[in-house]
Structure 1
Amino acid sequence: MPQTPSIYEIHDERFRQLIVSSARLEELYSECRWAEGPVWFSDLNCLIWSDIPNQRMLRWTPDGGVSVFRSPSNFVNGNTRDRQGRLISCEHGGRRVIRTEIDGTLTVLADRYQGKKLNSPNDVVVRSDGSIWFTDPTYGIKSDYEGYRSEPEQETRNVYRLDPETGELEAVVTDFGQPNGLAFSPDERKLYVADSASSHDVKAPRHIRVFDVIEGKRLNNGRVFCSLDNGLPDGFRVDVEGNVWTSAGDGVHCFSPEGRLLGKVLVPQSVANLTFGGQRRNRLFITATTSLYSVYVATNGVALG
């Protein structure tokens, strides 16, 4: 009997300790145009993610399958949860970061910087102090496919920090081509940020940068953490051991805290984003072009919210 091809590539023996060799890649849904922004709600036992061009957000539950969470979504892309468990989302259409309150109403957290409209907020994370950090590339205003075509008002494509006390918005990094996914290390002393500018510029780097977080407010000592050998880095997450699991052209690439490629989870479609979920955060949910996939792993993701 022929053997089923493995979904794993082992580049470092340490990767074997992070995967379940018998686990299979499951396709949970396949009717998206561009799947993005997965976030797990452990208290509701569900995953919410974005289908950007279709102007909708979807919900998956283990027993109930897939349903529509919000439509129209105003081209929501990245999602996360704050420390009160509320949904924080990046809207391409509104060029803003919003919060979904417990009663379902929406609160605008940020839509302008220095009096000018943001480009199109892309991905977002919340630190333990309640501060909200997000990236602001121009993908949502490049065409009418993932937002509304418009000229950028910001001179640069920045990473921002929103102060939880004052609501003040500060650009903490301004030298990215196209900042995209971002995540903190488990101790929050480092912030990783992807640059996906190679999506429209073949000469641009395909790497994730890492910064030291100073007093929870500033970033310093930016340097290249890792570069991808297939596709470009989009969204990613960090496990409790500090390994970075990032989207790539051929699946999910896992890098050690030192930036060494440990291995890959091979996926049939280009991966846009991922998150750890399930009751023990040991199930990797993967948004890849038109589909939502999942696979169980032998590590646990850092808790979000």
Structure 2
Amino acid sequence: MVTSVSNRLVRRKVLKGLSGLSAGLVLPQAGLFKTASAADADTASKAFLPDVTTHPPRQWGPDAPPSYAPDPDVVVIDRSFRDLVSGNATIHRVWDKGVWIEGPAWSAEGRYLLFSDTVTSRQYRYLWETGDVTVFRPEAYHCNGTTFDYVGRQISCEHFLRRVVRWEHDGAVHVVADHFEGKPLNSPNDVIAHPDGSIWFTDPGYGDSIAEGHADAAGGEANPDGRIRWRIGEELIGAVGGMHKQPDHTFRVDPSGRIDVVLTQEQLPNPNGLCFSPDFSRLYVISTGRQSGPGGHDGDMSVHVFDLHKQELPLSNPRLLTNMRFEGVQMIPDGLKADIYGNLWCGVSGPLGLCGVFVFNPDGHLIGRIRLPHGVSNLTFGGPKRDWLFMCAGESLYRLQVNTQGAGPA
């Protein structure tokens, strides 16, 4: 069981070269291994940092040797996790040409996986039949979270234009939300669809930045002294207009287009990933770490759960599912998805060897882990049977076949 919250880590600044590479670092030498001194370790960490968690260092990519089975980086903590993973399935890196990739979503009709690079502002498509990755939208306005609704339409969060959009079957784009109470949104982050036609999304300020969208106009929380020249670098910045960060809420847009606050900033600061339970009786929302800018405020880096009643707001019975502390370290949760049994698969950042994916049962008990060489921003289930877990981790896309299926549309 993960215990109570303490340390504060900054989101996404996780550690390809994290400390911990000290006297216990293992270095390859002439086919053997030795324990390095602290000085050797410091030199080695600058010259060679293994991007793996297993020993000997694991190789990735198309030229990598065959992986061991069962995969040593699929870690069983509770016996119940064995039922969710296949003993002969191994983790594969299928693409590594991004900067920070996000928002994976599976198109059942198209048999492809969409994902975005929030930094380069492109959206990509992974083709199931061939495994090829192609550019889907060469300009995606720093798109982040994406999903498909129950009639197969793509819904995406665009950091740069600070809006949520839906792509109709005829190719037209419909703006789901870009303002609330006459004020612009911040940078919609993650989005999910409900069978009743409503769209739910989180709106923190992580995309109010030069790298993943655009900063606030002078005087905004992400640009209080106006030093950031927020108008340069994007040809559409004039059309966007001056914007200041607003309170970060979690929203619901009903089929008529009415937008309601589901959770205020006071109820859950810095909302990030969110998902429903398979029966739609629960809503899970992640509160992540400190936002950018000197005025940025803190979340608690935990996963929260609320009871959801059909056609009824507000949510009820708020409670903590897990505070994401593991082995004395405060992990950083980001995106999450539920499987058909109600287990939660959560992308996490943190120290090398701990980051990857944490899997919780519906009671919040940690039952398994998937270790990756980078923190996972978001994940989803895909493939024709929805039994492949796709994981966005830094610049790379990984996949693992599992013995369960994703709940709801991907």
The TM-score bracket by the shorter chain reads over 0.9
- The aligned runs of 1:124-203 (5 Å cut-off) are 124-141=191-208, 143-150=209-216, 151=220, 153=244, 155-164=246-255, 166-174=256-264, 175=266, 176-198=268-290
Change (3 A) 1:202 1:138: closer
Aligned to 2:321: 225
| Change over 3 Å in CA distance of 1:257–1:46 after alignment to 2 | same
Structure 2: distance between partners of 1:8 and 1:199: 31
C-alpha distance in 1, partners of 2:382/2:249? 29
After TM superposition, list the pairs within 5 Å mapping 1:76-155 onto structure 2: 76-141=143-208, 143-150=209-216, 151=220, 153=244, 155=246
Q: For 1:198-277, list aligned pairs within 5 A.
A: 198=290, 204-218=299-313, 219-228=315-324, 229=326, 231-249=331-349, 250-277=355-382
In 1, distance between residues paired with 2:290 and 2:181? 28
Indicate how the Cα distance of structure 1 residues 233 and 48 shifts in structure 2: closer, same or farther if over 3 A, else same: same
TM-score by length of 2: 0.71
Superposed counterparts of 1:31-46, under 5 Å: 31-46=97-112
Separation of aligned partners in 2, 1:47 and 1:19? 21
1:49 aligns with 2:140: no
- Check conservation: 1:161, 1:217, Cα contact below 8 A: no
Kindly indicate whether the alpha-carbon contact (under 8 Å) linking 2:304 and 2:320 is maintained by their aligned counterparts in 1. Answer: yes
2:399 to 294, 298, 303: 294
Question: For the aligned residues, what is the CA RMSD?
Answer: 1.8
Greater Cα radius of gyration, structure 1 or 2: 2
8 Å CA contact 1:252–1:266 kept in 2: the answer is yes
Q: Which moved more, 1:122-131 or 1:146-155?
A: 146-155
Q: Distance in 2 between matches of 1:124 and 1:203?
A: 21
| TM-fit CA distance, 1:71 | 1.5
- 1:59: which partner in 2? 125
In structure 2, distance between residues paired with 1:148 and 1:160:
22
Q: 1:156 to 1:75 in 2, by over 3 A?
A: same
Cα contact 2:84–2:403 (8 A) shared by 1: yes
1:138 maps to a residue whose letter is: G
Q: How many residues align?
A: 302
CA offsets 1:202-255 (integer angstroms, 9 cap, x no match): 974221100011223421121111122353111110000000000012111000
The one-letter amino acid of 1:185's match is S
Name the CA distance, whole Å, in 1 between partners of 2:190 and 2:103.
7
**Distance of aligned partners of 1:53 and 1:155 in 2 relative to their CA distance in 1, 3 Å threshold:** closer
Q: Give per-residue Cα distances to partners, 1:272-293, cap 9 Å, x unaligned.
A: 0000001111100000010000
CA–CA distance in structure 2, aligned partners of residues 212 and 28 of structure 1: 37
Q: Which has the higher strand share?
A: 1
Q: Structure 1 residue 47: deviation in Å?
A: 0.3
TM-score when normalising by structure 1: 0.94
In structure 2, give the amino acid aligned to 1:135.
T
Q: Which runs of 4+ in 1 moved over 3 A?
A: 2-5, 152-155, 198-204
Structure 1 position 155, deviation (Å):
4.3
Matching residue of 2:28:
none
Where 2:207 maps in the other structure, the secondary structure is helix
Equivalent-residue separation in structure 2 for 1:140 and 1:203 (angstroms): 15
Q: Is the 8 A contact 2:77 2:366 kept in 1?
A: yes
Which whole-Å deviations, capped at 9, do the CAs of 1:177-208 have from their partners, x for residues lacking one?
21000000000010000111257689742211
- Structure 1 contact 199–232 (Cα < 8 Å) conserved: no
What SS does structure 1 have at the residue aligned with 2:300? coil
Structure 2: give runs of 5+ residues left out of the alignment: 1-55, 57-66, 222-243, 350-354
2:319 and 2:254 map into 1 onto residues whose CA distance is 25
Distance in 2, Cα, partners of 1:19 & 1:209 = 25
Could you report, residue by residue, the CA deviation over 1:31-70 in whole angstroms, capped at 9, with x for unpaired residues? 1111100000122111000111011000001334010000
